[in-house]
Amino acid sequence: MHVLLKMTAAALCSLAFSSIVQAMPVFDEFGPLDEATFGGDGIPNQNVAISGGQGVTSGQDIFTLTLGLTAHQRFFNPVLTHDGAGTFTAGAGTSFSPGGVEGALWNFAFFVGVEGATIADLVNDGYSFILSFDFDPSDAVDAGTILLDGATGSVVQGSQNLLFSFLSDGIPGLVIPPLGSFDPNIGGLYSFSLTALNTSGNVQVNPVVAGIDVRVVAVPVPASLLLFGFGLLAAGAAFRRRQA
């Protein structure tokens, strides 16, 4: 199986936790985001969909906002490939971390960075930072959400896996799970988004509204190839038995 990840840029027009609107792959830029670690060591940051811009806080501080989304292999699984235009390819299935936690073979990773202010400053001015995710393998999207407004400092970032239990269980006030459950082995479409939104109406604030949507298409291996693979395994086992 394979998973295709398509990055698209779009701003959500409300804070309602509703379906993500599907869009064609569009973003401000695609490439390195050197300041991003995504919360871990060795997580690739060279192929990232990036959006953002400049704004002014109510205290008249000029700030620069950067949002980034990417996808990468989990631990020692095969490295994801991409087409340079926001479409990634990853294996479908699961593996275990060195600590024994099961997850899909790929993670999605996010970055919110502010220069000239803090995330708390922007939240006080009416901003909200929302990471949305999807378990539904069909085209219909009923998004779950992670609210990032409680972050301190000027950066919040991380790398998550749809098989992590807190995404399906939810955390009151922080994580609202989507409908259904995630099956990393079946084909279909999965959607994610990262948005910065200001709806306060504060006339002293020059807001930046930015977002990136991520679409994930899981493509099953054709049954004929699976049968061919099983045939090779059987032939190998028979050969080993003859050599024993």
Dump the DSSP string for 187-214. Answer: -EEEEEEEEEEE-S--TT-B---EEEEE
- Across the range 222-236, mean pLDDT stands at 41
Question: How many domains does the chain fold into?
Answer: 1
Q: Which residues contact 22 (CB under 8 A, 6 or more apart)?
A: 8, 139, 141, 191, 213, 215
Residue 123's H or E segment, with its range, is helix 119-124
Lowest mean per-residue pLDDT among 85-94, 115-124, 200-209, 220-229: 220-229
- Across the range 54-82, mean pLDDT stands at 90
Q: Look at residue 78 in the predicted model and tell me its pLDDT.
A: 83
Residue 22's φ and ψ, nearest 5 degrees, are: -70, 145
- Domain interval for residue 204: 2-243
* pLDDT surpasses 70 at 243: no
- Across the range 231-240, mean pLDDT stands at 42
Going from the C-alpha of 10 to that of each of 57, 159, 163, the distances in angstroms are 23, 21, 25
Which residue would you say has higher pLDDT here, 176 or 20? 176
Q: Look at residue 26 in the predicted model and tell me its pLDDT.
A: 67
DSSP three-state, residue 14: coil
Mean pLDDT score across all residues of the chain: 80
Q: What whole-number distance in Å separates Cα of residue 23 and Cα of residue 18? A: 15
Q: What whole-number distance in Å separates Cα of residue 52 and Cα of residue 3? A: 27
Which pLDDT band holds residue 220 (cuts at 50, 70, 90)? low
Residue 141 CA from chain centroid, whole number: 15
Half-sphere CA count of 35, side-chain side, radius 13 A: 14
Token duo for residue 177: 């799970």
Q: Look at residue 219 in the predicted model and tell me its pLDDT.
A: 64
pTM score of the predicted model:
0.82
